[in-house]
């Protein structure tokens, strides 16, 4: 089935008539946000499955504004399709009548169908029936995708089974396994009824039936346990794998935090050791006296000189004193130690008279001038005369030369300073050493701070890389260990349940064989033969159905991975793996991304989107192969998480696929920063497509006034 044309009239931003003449291959509709892409998607969706309510919300405001009160117009979405050489037109529309400004009433919608055969003959048919025939509801469900989230239709465990059943051959075999079971059950019943006619085995038969029923129930019970244990194991394994990606981070974080703490403590210790209390040292440690020695030298010299002078003076003083004592002694010796005459005897005048006469009138001898007696008399006179002058000034004979001995104190001070010089000389070294010590510590701290910065950057990197917060990261290690323990327990449970099931199965088999034995002996042989054949037929039907299902899954897996690898060319992808699981009453298919046989949890959005798209394309391709018919797929913004390059690759890839595809994307458009003019980028030229459109709002428009909004459709 190919959509040849979509026409939208007066539907929201699509004012008047807008036509998209589509190609049967890849159709790309470009459009900036808010310029009509999604409204196109919604219009088609409304045509397919829209409800008959709030239709006034779908009316073009611009058209309504231009319409006179009391007049009406039609809101319409129409689709022309081609299938098996026949053309069909399906139109969904309603009438909008303007009641007053900005308000309208609407009729109910109608769906019209027109079938046109190869010779151009047109027939009016039921629109809804026509739609459901050419584009069945179940297929429509898997044909329209709005946004990336919509692509993940496999979240519910039955979705993929439904999809596979819908498109795979396996669906044809469903009824066979059902009918096979039905026929076998009826044949079993016929045999049982026949056996029961034989009364001798009645009690044993009843007992066996009861036991078989019991074992059947037990088996179902343990199957449920086993299933849920297996599910838990998968969940724990998932948690563990998720945690593993964090465990190394958590481990590294713990080590880093430890190292950061150690560095911080070391910095704090070293900072504490830095002694920069220089003011105290200046006084308490005598640093202020660092240059004292030169002053001391000058002081000591002065003190020394002073001391010498003093001693000289003292010595002179003592000598003088000694001379005087000596003179006294000599005089005494001269007089034969007789007591001399007192000074002034003879008197001054007598002495002068005798000197003048040059005669000693005391001893009556001549005393010529210059003779010894003359000199003696002269000296005697002099002594008298001197004694008359000195008498007042002569110091006290007992008075010392220096009353106080300050010099000695100065000496002591100087000596004491001299002794201290030894310590003072060390001050300079001490200062130097302290400054060097502090500098060394500061250097160490600087280095540690650099190291701390590096460690913190590393920690930030780890936290940045981690998708969980720091406090949660530290919980990871704890949970990781708990989950490992859980896993061990669950694995043991799985082994236990499996063993138990095997035992029940074996018991059940034994009971059934016992029952069959009674049947063989009691029931009609033809009934038994019929039952046995129908048992085999049922097994064949079930096997074949599963085989077909598995074949489809295998093909789906291969095709999905081919698409997946092509979309993500040159990038890591992992492998898409489909797994069929038989639950108690149903089968489910799970899909997951694996890396080296292990589930790849938390792939990025782009990888996830490409995985979902790959599966959808694969299903669509398989459906085409099996049903010999293609159905279109419509995607609104399916590749938001892709970059423009990847989108190009993706578009080039889907160009190669067979189905008709309509893609609405906002890539490849450029807005000029100055003029705000929109244009299509050159890169779009290299994108392979069958048809391209550009939906853009007619300029100028007022973003706050819907009456000015009109999406134009430009065929590129």
Sites of contact with other proteins (CB under 8 A):
172-173, 175-176, 179-180, 182-183, 186-187, 190, 525-527, 529-530, 533-534, 536-537, 539-541, 543-544, 547-548
Q: Between residues 381 and 537, which has the closer beta carbon with respect to other proteins? A: 537
Burial-class residue 569 by CB neighbours within 10 Å (0-12, 13-18, 19+): exposed
Helix (H/G/I), strand (E/B), else coil: 496: helix
Q: How far is the CB of 205 from other proteins (least distance, A)?
A: 22
Q: How far is the CB of 538 from other proteins (least distance, A)?
A: 10
In sequence order, what are the residues at sequence separation of 6 or more whose Cβ sits closer than 8 angstroms to the Cβ of residue 417?
Answer: 292, 296, 299, 300
Q: How far is the CB of 182 from other proteins (least distance, A)?
A: 6
Q: Between residues 174 and 358, which has the closer beta carbon with respect to other proteins? A: 174
Q: Between residues 172 and 432, which has the closer beta carbon with respect to other proteins? A: 172
In sequence order, what are the residues at sequence separation of 6 or more whose Cβ sits closer than 8 angstroms to the Cβ of residue 376?
Answer: none
Q: Between residues 488 and 509, which has the closer beta carbon with respect to other proteins? A: 509
Distance, in Å, from the CA atom of 49 to the CA atom of 79, rounded to the nearest integer, reads 13
Q: DSSP assignment of 40-54, as one string?
A: HHHHHHHHHH--SS-
Distance, in Å, from the CA atom of 343 to the CA atom of 340, rounded to the nearest integer, reads 9
Q: Between residues 78 and 522, which has the closer beta carbon with respect to other proteins? A: 522
Say which residue the tokens 């698409």 belong to: 563
3-state secondary structure 660-705: CEEEEECCCEEECCCCCCEEECHHHHHCCCCEEEEEEECCCCCCCC
Q: Between residues 180 and 346, which has the closer beta carbon with respect to other proteins? A: 180
Q: Between residues 283 and 526, which has the closer beta carbon with respect to other proteins? A: 526
Q: Between residues 380 and 548, which has the closer beta carbon with respect to other proteins? A: 548
The neighbour count for residue 197, using CB atoms within 10 Å, is 10
Distance, in Å, from the CA atom of 538 to the CA atom of 33, rounded to the nearest integer, reads 57
Q: How far is the CB of 176 from other proteins (least distance, A)?
A: 7
Q: How far is the CB of 533 from other proteins (least distance, A)?
A: 5
Q: What is the DSSP letter of 153?
A: T
Q: How far is the CB of 624 from other proteins (least distance, A)?
A: 17
Q: Which tokens is 42 given?
A: 């919604």
Q: How far is the CB of 114 from other proteins (least distance, A)?
A: 31
For 505: left if phi > 0, alpha if psi spans -120 to 50, otherwise beta; the answer is: alpha
Distance, in Å, from the CA atom of 327 to the CA atom of 24, rounded to the nearest integer, reads 158
Q: How far is the CB of 92 from other proteins (least distance, A)?
A: 34
Q: How far is the CB of 551 from other proteins (least distance, A)?
A: 10
**Is the bond preceding residue 250 a cis peptide, omega within 30 degrees?**
no
**What are the CA-CA distances from residue 511 to residues 122, 127, 208, 495 (Å)?**
68, 59, 6, 24
- Are 160 and 57 in contact by the 8 Å Cβ rule? The answer is no
The neighbour count for residue 668, using CB atoms within 10 Å, is 21
Q: Between residues 537 and 608, which has the closer beta carbon with respect to other proteins? A: 537
Phi and psi at residue 4, in whole multiples of 5°?
Answer: -85, -35
Q: Between residues 136 and 643, which has the closer beta carbon with respect to other proteins? A: 136
Q: How far is the CB of 679 from other proteins (least distance, A)?
A: 53
Q: DSSP assignment of 298-338, as one string?
A: HHHHHHHHHHHHHHHHHHHHHHHHHHHHHHHHHHHHHTTTP
Q: Between residues 541 and 578, which has the closer beta carbon with respect to other proteins? A: 541
Q: Between residues 117 and 627, which has the closer beta carbon with respect to other proteins? A: 627
Q: Between residues 530 and 599, which has the closer beta carbon with respect to other proteins? A: 530
Q: How far is the CB of 695 from other proteins (least distance, A)?
A: 43
3-state secondary structure 76-91: EEEEEEEECCEEEEEE
Q: How far is the CB of 513 from other proteins (least distance, A)?
A: 17
Q: DSSP assignment of 177-193, as one string?
A: HHHHHHHHHHHHHHHHH
The vertex-491 CA angle with 486 and 494, nearest 5°, equals 125
Q: How far is the CB of 506 from other proteins (least distance, A)?
A: 22
């Amino acid at each position: 089935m190919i959509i040849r044309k979509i026409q939208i009239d007066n539907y929201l931003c699509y004012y008047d008539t807008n036509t998209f003449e589509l190609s049967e291959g890849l159709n790309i509709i470009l459009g900036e946000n808010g310029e009509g892409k999604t409204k196109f998607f919604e219009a088609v969706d409304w045509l397919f499955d829209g409800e008959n309510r709030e239709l006034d919300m779908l009316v073009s405001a611009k058209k309504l504004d231009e319409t006179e009160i009391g007049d009406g117009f039609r809101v319409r979405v129409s689709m022309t399709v081609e299938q098996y050489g026949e053309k069909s037109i399906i139109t969904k529309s309603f009438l909008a009548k303007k009641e007053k400004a900005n308000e309208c009433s609407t009729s109910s919608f109608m769906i019209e169908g027109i079938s046109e055969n190869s010779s151009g003959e047109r027939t009016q048919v039921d629109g809804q029936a026509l739609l459901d025939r050419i584009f069945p509801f179940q297929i429509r469900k898997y044909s329209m995708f709005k946004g990336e989230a919509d692509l993940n239709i496999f979240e519910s465990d039955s979705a993929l089974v439904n999809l596979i059943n819908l498109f795979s051959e396996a669906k044809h075999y469903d009824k066979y396994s059902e009918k096979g079971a039905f026929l076998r059950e009826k044949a079993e019943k016929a045999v049982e009824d026949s056996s029961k006619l034989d009364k001798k085995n009645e009690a044993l038969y009843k007992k066996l039936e009861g036991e078989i029923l019991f074992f059947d129930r037990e088996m179902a019970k343990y199957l449920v346990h086993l299933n849920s244990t297996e599910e838990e194991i998968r969940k724990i394994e998932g948690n563990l794998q998720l945690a593993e990606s964090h465990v190394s981070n958590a481990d590294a974080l713990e080590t880093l935090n430890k190292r950061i703490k150690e560095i911080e403590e070391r910095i704090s210790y070293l900072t504490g050791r830095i002694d920069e209390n220089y003011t105290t040292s200046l006084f308490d440690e005598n640093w202020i006296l660092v240059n004292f020695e030169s002053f001391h030298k000058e002081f000591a010299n002065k003190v020394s000189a002073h001391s010498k002078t003093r001693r000289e003076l003292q010595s002179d003083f003592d000598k003088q004193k000694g001379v005087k004592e000596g003179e006294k002694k000599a005089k005494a010796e001269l007089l034969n130690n007789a007591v001399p005459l007192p000074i002034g005897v003879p008197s001054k005048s007598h002495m002068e008279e005798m000197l003048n006469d040059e005669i000693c009138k005391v001893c009556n001898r001549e005393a010529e001038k210059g003779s010894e007696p003359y000199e003696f008399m002269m000296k005697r006179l002099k002594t008298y005369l001197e004694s008359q002058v000195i008498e007042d000034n002569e110091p006290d004979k007992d008075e010392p030369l220096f009353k106080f001995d300050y010099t000695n104190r100065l000496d002591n001070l100087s000596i004491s300073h001299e002794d201290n010089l030894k310590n003072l000389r060390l001050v300079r070294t001490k200062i130097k050493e302290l400054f060097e010590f502090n500098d060394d510590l500061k250097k160490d701290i600087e280095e540690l701070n650099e190291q701390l910065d590096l460690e913190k950057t590393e920690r930030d990197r780890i936290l940045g890389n981690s998708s969980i917060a720091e406090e949660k990261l530290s919980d990871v290690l704890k949970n990781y260990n708990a989950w490992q323990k859980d896993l061990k327990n669950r694995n043991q449970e799985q082994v236990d349940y499996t063993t138990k099931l095997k035992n029940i199965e074996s018991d059940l088999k034994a009971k059934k064989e016992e029952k069959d034995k009674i049947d063989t002996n009691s029931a009609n042989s033809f009934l038994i033969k019929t039952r046995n054949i129908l048992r085999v037929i049922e097994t064949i039907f079930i096997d074949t159905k599963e085989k077909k299902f598995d074949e489809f899954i295998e093909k789906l897996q291969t095709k999905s991975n081919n698409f997946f690898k092509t979309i993500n060319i040159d990038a890591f992808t992992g492998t898409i793996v489909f797994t069929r699981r038989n639950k108690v009453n149903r089968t489910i298919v799970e899909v997951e991304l694996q890396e080296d046989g292990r589930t790849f949890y938390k792939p990025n959005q782009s990888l996830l989107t490409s995985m979902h798209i790959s599966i959808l394309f694969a299903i669509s391709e398989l459906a085409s192969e099996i049903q010999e018919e293609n159905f279109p797929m419509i995607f609104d913004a399916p590749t938001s998480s892709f970059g423009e390059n990847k989108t190009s690759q993706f578009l080039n890839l889907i160009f190669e696929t067979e189905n008709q595809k309509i893609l609405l994307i906002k890539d490849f458009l450029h807005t000029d920063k100055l003029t705000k003019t929109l244009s299509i980028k050159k890169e779009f030229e290299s994108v392979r497509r069958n048809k391209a459109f550009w939906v853009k709002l007619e300029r100028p428009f007022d973003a706050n006034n819907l009456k000015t909004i009109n999406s134009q459709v430009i065929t590129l």
